[in-house]
Amino acid sequence: MTDGRFVFPRAPRRVYWETTRACGLACPHCRADAVATSHPDELTPAEGLKLLDDLLRFGHPLPHVIFTGGDPLAKPKCAVSRR
């Protein structure tokens, strides 16, 4: 059943993006297993920006993007330029 604004096969309602598992802390309340460094298969900053740009193509209503994961500052630094 749909109210006409959202059609699940066409677009997600929410996108949970675990930006990294890298974190120097081991908080007891955290459900994630912290690791010292980011995984090599994690999205690069450029790939992350492309992901967000691609989500815009779903149109309205746009999905809610929830950023989760470890410490994004623990990821390797690299230059990203926007158009």
60-72 confidence digits (pLDDT tens): 888 899 988 888 7
Banded model confidence at residue 24, pLDDT cuts 50, 70, 90: confident
Banded model confidence at residue 52, pLDDT cuts 50, 70, 90: very high
Report yes or no on 83 lying in a domain.
Answer: no
Nearest by Cα to 14 from 83, 69, 63, 74: 63
Q: Does 21 have pLDDT greater than 80?
A: yes
The contacts of residue 24 (CB under 8 Å, 6+ apart) are: 34, 36, 71, 74
Report yes or no on 60 lying in a domain.
Answer: yes
Q: Does 73 have pLDDT greater than 50?
A: yes
As a whole number of angstroms, the distance between CA 31 and CA 17 comes to 15
As a whole number of angstroms, the distance between CA 44 and CA 49 comes to 9
Report yes or no on 54 lying in a domain.
Answer: yes
Tally of CB atoms within 10 A around 74: 19
> pLDDT tens, 10-19?
667 889 988 8
Q: Does 1 have pLDDT greater than 50?
A: no
Count of the separate structural domains present in the chain: 1
